[in-house]
Chains A and B, each alone.
Chain A
């Protein structure tokens, strides 16, 4: 009686261990050793989200293809255009090498001023295949939390100093069009299982990004 209990316990234990191993393997498809990208210690499954005017951009956006994500805003004159321009150069290198370019997704964290139509044309200005989108701040923040993005609204106060506040915090009336946004400028790599697996830290070089993407 006692012995059979031990056997059952051992069987349950080994089965669950096996299950954990299988689950672990399923969650972690092998990644190449990247030269510049930082591989996440654990692959992060993204939470359910919905962006776009008709909530058309969901987790399905990231299935069956590699994706590169960048968070920014359309009133950004320097960092965001540089990034998108640079990613177009990455796309050229990938095309020259006959390899598939991951889909590029530019997510605006500034839905108060940006809209989806404008972000689509914004992204297409750099490359017809690039996507631009936004959504409600609560939906954006789900992704922001998963990727560890930080962003804040910043504006010039009357004393000539910049004040940074959370995006949804109230700001003076005369600053509602002219505020700037401080934001993370990492480029995030999402695998075809929709998991965040690696990030490229700035400054970004098209050649270095392509070097790692060619290993996929």
Chain B
């Protein structure tokens, strides 16, 4: 009994550490990764994460693949001519010893043609190909959002809010 608990604990430790340290052998470290949950009727999903380049040379991501999706691309959303424009990036360079954040409204990985849209709680295996030929694989959890804390209400002035119309039942 005790043994099985320990085994489970070890397995859990390895499993939970896996996404963060999947790239430990290389100088590329992927952190804080998440795939945005999408409605089952959606046709695409996006992944966001932070890439750290622990080397003294620029690191270039040239390709990306995701299990369960026919096609994946490196994308950049930006604002241009009054529109939000999203474009595929042939490659993305992370400068030496730098961090690049892939985040909503900016760099992200876009997954197309899903076998089935990945649901919250699932893990999506994502592999990056670097210009050096190296491959970095990481597992990204599917989440509805990446908020660590509950919503930040601290900036709201609650005194100004009229609570008189609130229904208390």
Contacts and interface: CB of A to CB of B under 8 A. Distances in A.
Interface of A: 74-79, 81-82, 85, 89, 92-93, 96-99, 113, 117-118, 121-122, 124-125, 150-152, 154, 156, 160, 162, 178, 180, 182-185, 202-203, 206-207, 210-211, 214
Interface string B37-59: 11111111110000000000000
B36 interface: yes
Interface of B: 36-46, 75, 77, 79-88, 90, 104-105, 108, 110-112, 144-145, 151-153, 155-156, 161-167
Contacts of A78: 46, 75, 77, 86, 104-105, 108, 110
Contacts of A202: 79, 84, 105
A155 to B, nearest CB: 10
A89 B45 CA distance: 21
Contacts of A82: 104-105
B41 A81 contact: no
Given A81-B38, A85-B144, A184-B83, A75 B43 contact: yes
A30 B166 CA distance: 24
B83 A74 contact: no
A118 B40 CA distance: 9
Given A154-B85, A211-B156, 11 more contacts: A75-B44, A77-B36, A77-B45, A77-B108, A77-B111, A78-B104, A85-B144, A99-B162, A124-B39, A182-B80, A183-B83
